[in-house]
Amino acid sequence: MNLYISNPLCLLHDNGNDHPETAERITRIQDQLISAQMFDWFHHKESRAANNDEIALAHHPRLIEHIENSLPKEGVVEISEDVNLCPDSMSAARYAVGAVLDGIDAVHNDNYKRVFCSVRPPGHHAEYDEAQGFCLFNNVAIGAAYAIEKLGYERVAIIDFDVHHGNGTESFVRKQPKAWFASSFEHPLYPFTDPKSDINNMVKIPLEKYSNGEVFRQAWSEQGLPGLVAFKPELILISAGFDAHALDPLANLQLHENDFAWITSEIGKIADKYCHGKIVSVLEGGYDLGAVSVSAREHIRTLFELD
């Protein structure tokens, strides 16, 4: 059985007017699942709130304190470039992290095989001691740290197909040899990380502007997926961003929803072979409301094997 985790409190994080990272991203994904008559074919859960000790598995306590202390009483404040806070942002972020921890518990306890966490704010740009790029805390990195440090996993893979490189996740795996990270991203583009893969537990797959699905599939087939097989993961986490879609306003790759279904299927086959199918997938970016909702729907359809 499969599990969809979200929380209405994740909708309360507000970046202010005319910002692409909106609550509607999550409601539109849910609407797509309902209108495709998929929503009754998996279980649903409201996430718990992660506590400070859990967030500190992948962040300096100073960052948690800084965000708590910066919350406005009303309205929206910008605490750094591309990071905004409203009064409910900390609460939304705690439930986003909590969803990933709940998802990992769910597959660890063999209650579920596949989990999708429909949460925001996203996470993969958040560094150890700094919120960045619409991200407050690194949901996936905290999840990996939780699996390794609290549940005893020795090999946790993180696959990231968001159009932006997960710089925060890279920083995390540089200090955590039990985690392995593969990421495709448009290059050059924010956050402008070095495209070289210079450590054993990281594969970077830079893709040129306007690369299409064929290029994406070939790159993953040659670079990312063989590395995942060689790693023999015990658990796979996905940073599922859908902003590499051709319609996305923030980037220039030319993927379509079937490309997201393809990579999901490939990851699923490897998960079935090495880790009893266990995958926890977590929403990252995706800013065209139509494209992100349809892409997430196809990702979930494949992840949950609903065909």
| Site of interaction with Zn ion (CB under 5 A) | 162, 164, 241, 243, 285
Q: What letter does residue 74 receive in the DSSP assignment?
A: S
If the CB atoms of residues 95 and 161 are measured against Zn ion, the closer one turns out to be 161
Distance CA 165, CA 38 (A): 31
| Backbone angles phi and psi of 99, in degrees to 5 | -60, -40
For Zn ion, the closer of residues 105 and 248 by Cβ is 248
> Based on CB atoms, which residue is closest to Zn ion, 107 or 182?
182
Nearer to Zn ion, 25 or 94 (CB): 25
SS (H, E, C) 153-221: CCCEEEEECCCCCCHHHHHHHHCCCCEEEEEEEECCCCCCCCCCCCCCCEEEEEECCCCEHHHHHHHHH
Pick between residue 98 and residue 122 the one whose CB is nearest to Zn ion.
Answer: 122
Q: Which of 197, 23, 30, 211 is nearest to 120 (CA)?
A: 23
Instruction: Kindly state the smallest distance separating residue 238's Cβ from Zn ion, in Å.
Output: 14
The whole-angstrom separation of Cα 55 and Cα 58 is 6
Contacts of 218 (CB under 8 A, 6+ apart): none
| Nearest-approach distance from CB 122 to Zn ion, in angstroms | 7
20 alpha carbon, distance to own chain's centre: 17
What's the min distance (Å) between Cβ of 163 and Zn ion? 5
Least gap, CB of 284 to Zn ion (angstroms): 6
Q: Which residues pair with 204 in a beta bridge?
A: 183
Shortest distance (Å) from residue 144 CB to Zn ion: 19
For Zn ion, the nearest residue by Cβ is 285
Least CB distance to Zn ion at residue 306 (A): 26
* Residue type present at position 180: W
The continuous run of DSSP H or E covering 236 comes out as strand 235-240
DSSP 18: T
Least separation in angstroms between CB 65 and Zn ion: 27
Q: Residue 154 CB, nearest distance to Zn ion (Å)?
A: 29
- In terms of CB distance, is 105 or 243 closer to Zn ion? 243
Query: Could you give the C-alpha distances from 58 to 62, 121, 161, 176, in angstroms and in order?
Result: 12, 16, 21, 10
* Residue closer to Zn ion, measured from CB, 122 or 233: 122
- 142: three-class secondary structure by DSSP: helix
Which of 102/186 has CB closer to Zn ion?
186
Burial class from Cβ neighbours inside 10 Å (0-12, 13-18, 19+) for residue 87 reads middle
